[in-house]
A and B are shown apart, each in its own frame.
Chain A
Amino acid sequence: MTIGIGGWGSRRKPMSLVREIIRSKLKDLTIVSYGGPDVGLLCATGKVKKVIYGFVSLDSIPLEPHFRIARQTASIEAVELDEGMLQWGLLAAVHRVPFLPTRAGLGSDLERNNPDFKRIQSPYDDGETFIAMPALELDVALIHMNRGDESGNGQFLGPDPFFDDLYCLAAKRRFMSVEKIVPTQDLIKQASVHTLRINRTMIDGVIEAPNGAHFTECPPDYERDEAFQKEYAATAKDLEAWEAFKKRYLDVSSEKEYQEAVKSR
């Protein structure tokens, strides 16, 4: 199964949904992401077969340490893209075309690392050569928004919508967690119509998950939990610490228990 995960690095990630995957029987997943701890956690818990990524970073910690281990032990298959190409692949899927032409990647080792990516020549007089970035078709998209209504309209209140709408439009099934479900008529009271980036045609299921992006940031509702992130990152270097972290935060029966464990630190 190919799952696209919205957000960016350690920002507004649908972490409650990621934690639900960790508690599930799902495995051998292909993850498409501007990756952060979503990718690191899924790699560390053995859920991942392949990652298609623009990068995997915790922002204030430049490289996701659990992802780094996965790469260095070759426990996952890696499709490393130029950051802009990931957007382009999603957009191709959104438009239901098999590829979109791009200059990004031409001449770099991205081509050597992805020999199945083909070049294409412009059919017009310019005859220029491009990389045909294949469409990134998703089985499932997971995103987290600040607000939403019961029918699946979603609202971002932070500074950046990232690419969450593209993930949803590129996927067959789309699930959105939100900090708070509000009545439809209240959506526009909170912020301008421009923040209503997600409409209900893009969403199949919505769940209220307060603090659901934890420990990534979800402004203006909350900042990144840097202390928790540091604790998480440190577990990549210490097996005992990882086991303790896993027991305390991941081997729990529900998101509610996770949130309680976080509160009682």
Chain B
Amino acid sequence: MSEFTRAEQCAVAIAECFRGDGEILVSPIGNLPILGARLAKLTFEPDILLTDGVASIVSTCQPIGGAPGPEPIVESWMPYRTIFECVASGRRHVMMGATQIDRFGNQNIACIGDFKKPKVQLLGLRGAPGNTINHTTSYWVPNHSPKVYVEKVDVVSGLGYDRAAALGPEGSRFHEIRRVVSNLCVIDFGGPDHAMRLVSVHNGVTIDEVVAATSFELVTEDVGETRAPSDAELTILREQLDPNAIATKEVPG
């Protein structure tokens, strides 16, 4: 097997989040999620819909960072008002970031401190409340640390499994947090009451390292190693999607 970078393995782990999604809109937010979603589309999940980041669905996969690529093929129109309809209809899987996330997947991108007078105003709730109650959500965390993986988030933007369960069956009806991929590992919610469970660690990362970088208790039974990129995937990443290795700026090593 070929040598690969941490960023390339993260891209593969992100792509795996979209396996089985079929013909739905995949909305990756940030460079690594975009890379992973395009890799999924070019390999095992060809039917997913991706936007150009503006108002078009494009069937081609452009490289990230503005490197020259194929002429984009526009297959449909999706302005913002249509995105919200897509969200409400459930035919979407979003991968968002998380400034804070807790063990049941409650995510905060709104602010740090009290909402009325925040210590730091972040992005705001954005689409997180609507996304998480309506369709599948995954998260990407480029810097796995105790400050991100916290006991309790300051503001719940995206709701986690405990919040969804508290709403009764209708809260859980369309709620799914599939995975959290970080620079260290892949986590799902297969623990008791949908608590975070360590699924796999990336190449060169130990379980202890992940545990030390997480503020709460993680379920760590049967932890595997994150799948290595295949040679075909490495070729797509290096030659087509990220020729300038921009992803290594976000995840070095």
Contact = CB atoms under 8 A, between A and B. Distances in A.
Interface string A116-157: 000000000000110000000000000000000000000000
A82 B125 contact: yes
B128 A108 contact: yes
Contacts of A57: 123
A74 B116 contact: yes
Interface residues on B, range: 35 or more
B163 to A, nearest CB: 4
A161 B54 CA distance: 12
Interface string A194-205: 000000000000
Interface of A: 8, 34, 53-57, 62-63, 67-68, 71-74, 78, 80-85, 87, 102-110, 112-113, 128-129, 159-163
A53 B134 contact: no
B140 to A, nearest CB: 15
A54 B80 CA distance: 12
B123 A62 contact: yes
A109 B157 CA distance: 6
A110 B125 CA distance: 8
B74 to A, nearest CB: 10
Contact of B121 (A63, A102, A160, A161): A63
B170 A128 contact: yes
Contacts of B155: 109, 113
14 contacts: A57-B123, A73-B117, A80-B124, A103-B88, A104-B87, A104-B130, A104-B134, A106-B171, A107-B156, A107-B163, A108-B159, A128-B170, A129-B170, A162-B79
Query: Of residues A63, A78, A80, A162, which shows the largest number of chain B Cβ atoms within 10 Å of its Cβ?
Result: A80
B115 interface: yes
Nearest to A73: B117
Contacts of A112: 115
Contact of B126 (A55, A103, A160): A55
Nearest to B154: A109
Query: Of residues A62, A74, A87, A110, which shows the largest number of chain B Cβ atoms within 10 Å of its Cβ?
Result: A110
B115 A109 contact: yes
Contact of B118 (A72, A103, A109, A160): A72
B110 A109 contact: yes
A83 B118 contact: no
B159 A107 contact: yes
Query: Of residues A34, A74, A81, A103, which shows the largest number of chain B Cβ atoms within 10 Å of its Cβ?
Result: A103
B53 to A, nearest CB: 10
B166 to A, nearest CB: 7
B56 interface: yes
Contact of B127 (A84, A103, A109, A163): A84
A128 B174 CA distance: 13
Given A84-B127, A85-B130, 12 more contacts: A55-B125, A78-B115, A78-B116, A80-B125, A82-B129, A103-B174, A107-B133, A108-B133, A108-B157, A108-B159, A109-B125, A159-B54
Nearest to B164: A107
Interface string B120-162: 1111111111101110000000000000000000011111000
Contacts of A62: 123
Contacts of B111: 71
Contacts of B164: 107
Contact of A72 (B88, B120, B134, B163): B120
Contacts of A108: 125, 128-129, 132-133, 156-159, 163
B128 A67 contact: no
Given A107-B133, A108-B163, A109-B156, A159 B125 contact: no
A83 B84 contact: yes
B159 A161 contact: no
Query: Of residues A8, A67, A107, which shows the largest number of chain B Cβ atoms within 10 Å of its Cβ?
Result: A107
B28 to A, nearest CB: 16
B55 interface: yes
